[in-house]
A and B are shown apart, each in its own frame.
Chain A
Amino acid sequence: MRNRILFTLQFLFTLLVAAFLAVPAGLSIAAGVTVNYFRGLQSGVTLQWVAQVWDLYAGTILASIMIALGTLAVTLVVGVPAAYALYVRGGRLARLVEEIITLPLAIPGLAIALALLLTYGGFGSFRRSWLFILAGHVVFTMPFMVRSVMAVFATIDVKSLDEGAASLGAPPWRRFVDVIVPNAAPGILAGSLMVVTLSLGEFNLTWMLHTPLTKTLPVGLADSYASMRLEVASAYTLIFFVLIIPLLVAMQWIGERGQSR
């Protein structure tokens, strides 16, 4: 009996916490397709706000997708070989490098953005281009790619694979392309999902680094929260959810598959 009450209380509490997280997201989705949020859903359902967001902010949405893909490309090309090198080399230097590239996770984005502005603010054409935001995103997402790939190396005994291929006479770069990369695929995939998700939602750095001509989706969101009617802001948030939720579902799915193995 006592257990029954305890179970019910905990269940209700957990439900309340879930409601706290889900209800505002639900409200925002509803508001994005409601004719008049103040009058409620009975005022009718419409896609006019979504269309208006597309008219006003399509550039920011495309920019965010391009920057996310660019960040992914750089973290793949730079991060995967580095993860391999750090893993096979090991030792104090590898730990130090790993420590340094992980620092951007412990330091607020605002500080990193300020540092980038102070250093490169004077280089006008770089400062004004998308590459400036890309540089910030690469610094911030790189540790996720490197660690995710290194975690896979730790589970598959990559050193003996590498030595096996070497004993067959394959040169180092061939072994990397034909043996190491395919074996690291699960880590590369998990890292890629993380990098794209984080880049799409990055605000703290991007707000400081953007210019009127280089606005990303989260920058546009902040702009719409401050200056647009609630329905438009909600429709914009809805578009963000549509972009990000498939990535989250994929990440959770991969995580569960990894656990059950």
Chain B
Amino acid sequence: MSHKSFVWICLLPLAAVTAAFFVLPMARLLVTGAEGPRGLAEYLAILAEPRYRATLLNTVLLAAANTIATLIVATIAGLFLQRHRFPGRAVLVAILTFPLAFPGVVIGFMIILLAGRQGLIGDVSSRLVGDKIVFAYSIYGLFLGYLYFSIPRVILTIMAAAQKLDPSLEEAARSLGAGSWAVLRDVVLPALAPALVASGAIAFATAMGAFGTAFTLATNIDVLPMLIYTEFTLAGNLATSAALSVGLGVMTWLILALARSFTGNSVAAAG
């Protein structure tokens, strides 16, 4: 057997599995989206139908707020951890990165333990001010949940990028009389920009498509993945749910592709 045909044989199983369980189903999803009473216009419903548009706007705003908050939190903590060595640092890094592999459902439960009916925040607040604060099942709980799973993803990227920064640039800026804020604003943050864009895109795309957390906290949250789920299971609306999930998939893919073309890095949004 020639080397060339061996290489083809090596590739064959992957081609078969991918075609059968990804490419073909995705094509089916695209077709189904246009098979409803509205036909191809189903794909526009995500923008044209007021209820879907409101949900889309809600989802985008929530994902954007989550991305900004995560970037701020992770940059402060990530830069700090990369620049200082102190006892217990390794433990802090481990704590900040472990939740990376927690599924969305588990993160939803973490938020319930924190801000749910039997949660820590409600417990402390009822003891301090006699008022039980419970917000796990609202959009604020979902925001907190997204923060919980975005921070580990972003902090790792920022720490890796901060490690590669050239310290002599900062020293030069400082010797020229720049204060710490000026150094941060004019030297450090611009150097971190590609990492911030890449990890911000991951945080945004993941928050757009996250289902498990919203599902666990569910009661009165209106986000796109929950809408797709209810359209499919409760309303049995195949075409709408297919068209909406194609729309969602195109959006998350576009965000990641844009970030990738900007940074030249491949990025992924698992979860």
Measured CB to CB, the residues of A under 8 A from B are: 6-7, 10-11, 13-15, 17-18, 20-25, 27-28, 31, 37-38, 74, 77-79, 81-82, 84-86, 88-89, 97, 100-112, 114-116, 118-120, 135-136, 138-140, 142-143, 146, 166, 171-173, 176, 197-198, 201-204, 207-208, 218, 221-222, 225-226, 230, 233-234, 237, 240, 244-245, 247-248, 252
A107 and B211 alpha carbons, distance in the complex (Å)? 12
Tell me if B17 is interfacial: C-beta within 8 Å of chain A.
Answer: yes
Q: Smallest CB–CB gap between B26 and chain A, Å?
A: 5
> How far, in whole Å, are A81 and B269 apart by their CA atoms in the complex?
25
CB distance from B132 to the nearest CB of A (A): 13
Min CB–CB distance A171 → chain B (angstroms): 7
Which B234-271 residues have a C-beta within 8 angstroms of A? 238, 241-242, 245-246, 248-249, 252-253, 256-257, 266, 268-271
**Chain B residue nearest in CB terms to A116:** B25
A27 to B114, CA, bound (A): 9
Question: In the complex, are the beta carbons of B76 and A25 less than 8 A apart?
Answer: no
Among B11, B32, B109, the residue within 8 A (CB) of A28 is B109
What are the residues of chain B within 8 A of A38 when measuring CB–CB? 118
CB distance from A163 to the nearest CB of B (A): 10
A/B pair count, beta carbons within 8 Å: 242
Q: Which residues of B contact A138 (CB under 8 A)?
A: 17, 21
| Chain A residues within an 8 Å CB radius of B23 | 100
Q: Quick check: A112 and B25 within 8 Å, CB to CB?
A: yes
Number of interface residues of B (CB under 8 A): 87
B216 contacts the other chain (CB 8 A) = yes
Q: Which residues of B contact A139 (CB under 8 A)?
A: 17-18, 21-22
B29 touches A115 (CB 8 A): yes
Q: State which of B106, B118, B152, B249 has its C-beta within 8 Å of the C-beta of A37.
A: B118
A24-B110, A225-B108 known; A115+B26 contact, CB < 8 A: yes
Stretch at the interface among B88-96, B165-173, B188-196: B88-96
Assembled-state Cα–Cα distance A121/B262 (Å): 39
Of B76, B111, B271, the residue contacting A13 (CB under 8 A) is: B76
Given the known A-B contacts A17-B96, A203-B104, are A86 and B216 also in contact in the complex, defined by CB atoms under 8 Å? no
A234 to B2: give the CA distance in the assembly, Å.
57
What's the dominant secondary structure at chain B's contact region?
Answer: helix
Determine which of A23, A31, A85, A119 lies in contact with B7 in the assembled complex, contact meaning CB atoms within 8 Å: A85
Contact B95 A22 (CB under 8 A): yes
Asked if residues A106 and B208 are in contact (CB atoms below 8 Å), the reply is: no
Interface pair A172/B92, CB less than 8 Å apart: no
The reply to whether the CB of B209 lies closer than 8 angstroms to some CB of chain A is yes
Q: Given contacts A11-B80, A138-B17, are A119 and B24 in contact (CB under 8 A)?
A: yes
Contact among A86, A101, A110 for B211, CB-based, below 8 A: A110
Residues in A whose Cβ lies below 8 Å from that of B100: 248
Report A177 CB to chain B, min CB distance, Å. 12
B 202-213 binary contact with A (CB < 8 Å = 1; else 0): 000100111110
**Given the known A-B contacts A28-B113, A138-B21, are A82 and B92 also in contact in the complex, defined by CB atoms under 8 Å?**
no
Q: Are B25 and A143 in contact (CB under 8 A)?
A: no
Q: Contacts A23-B120, A172-B6 given: A110-B209 contact, CB under 8 Å?
A: yes
The CB with the most chain B CB atoms within 10 A, among A23, A25, A84, A146, is that of: A25
What distance in Å separates the Cβ of A82 from its nearest Cβ neighbour in chain B? Answer: 4
Cβ–Cβ contact B81 & A248, under 8 A: no
Q: Is the CB of B249 within 8 A of A221?
A: no
Contact B151 A17 (CB under 8 A): yes
B101 is an interface residue with CB less than 8 A from chain A: yes
CB atoms of A114 and B80 under 8 A apart:
no
With the chains together, A198 CA to B77 CA distance in Å? 26
Cα(A100)–Cα(B255), bound, Å: 16
The contact of A109 among B112, B152, B209, by CB within 8 Å, is: B209
Q: Which of A106, A114, A135 is the one whose CB lies under 8 Å from B245? A: A114
